[in-house]
Amino acid sequence: MSRWANLCSSVYVALPRIAQHDVDRSRLELLDLQFLDPTPDSLQITQRATLHNPSKFTPTLDEFFADNYFVRNETGQFGPTPLVKFQMPKIHSLHPESEATLVLRRYAILSHDEVNAYVAATLKQEYVTSALVGKTKLHLGALPTTDINYNTTTTYKGISTPNPSVFP
């Protein structure tokens, strides 16, 4: 086999592992999250986030569904069921960061108990953590499409704070 053929087969074999590694190293920073117009079975959600990509590669992730879990800060464990299932938009991940936004979409509540636990935590705790978990496809130029697991946690400030002057 020629050196060129060896190089090509090495790229095709290594690409899925490298792609998953780079997705695992990325970080989602939640800038704004709004739960609006609740009904007994659904909510409208607007979310604005920044995707931090430490890799020099700038792949595109296909649109995909991601389960949104409330993470227990005291244990780091995901709740037993997701709060909602987000439809994540197609994201072109730039280096070092790019915007990922969900604009006013209605989502079915999958677990009222988890939504209640999440809301209680945002009111009582200084910090709250949630997780997005899903599967999608990654595209990088002319290279073959790669299946990846998307699993990221985001920690953000709750409404409770040790500094009461934050809320006038």
Q: DSSP string of 76-105?
A: -PBPSS-SEEEEEPPEE--SSEEEEEEEEE
Residue ranges making up the domain that contains 130: 3-162
For residue 17, pLDDT beyond 50: yes
Task: Report the number of distinct structural domains present in the chain.
Answer: 1
Token pair 């006013």 is found at: 104
Q: Does residue 34 lie within any of the structural domains?
A: yes
Q: Does residue 167 lie within any of the structural domains?
A: no
Q: Does residue 38 lie within any of the structural domains?
A: yes
24's CB contacts (< 8 A; 6+ apart) are 151
162 — pLDDT class (breaks 50, 70, 90): low
| pLDDT tens-digit readout, 42-65 | 988 887 777 777 878 788 889 889
| Mean pLDDT along residues 20-47 | 78
Amino acid 115: pLDDT: 92
Q: Does residue 68 lie within any of the structural domains?
A: yes
| Mean pLDDT score of the chain | 78
Domain harbouring 7, CATH code = 2.60.40
Q: Does residue 168 lie within any of the structural domains?
A: no
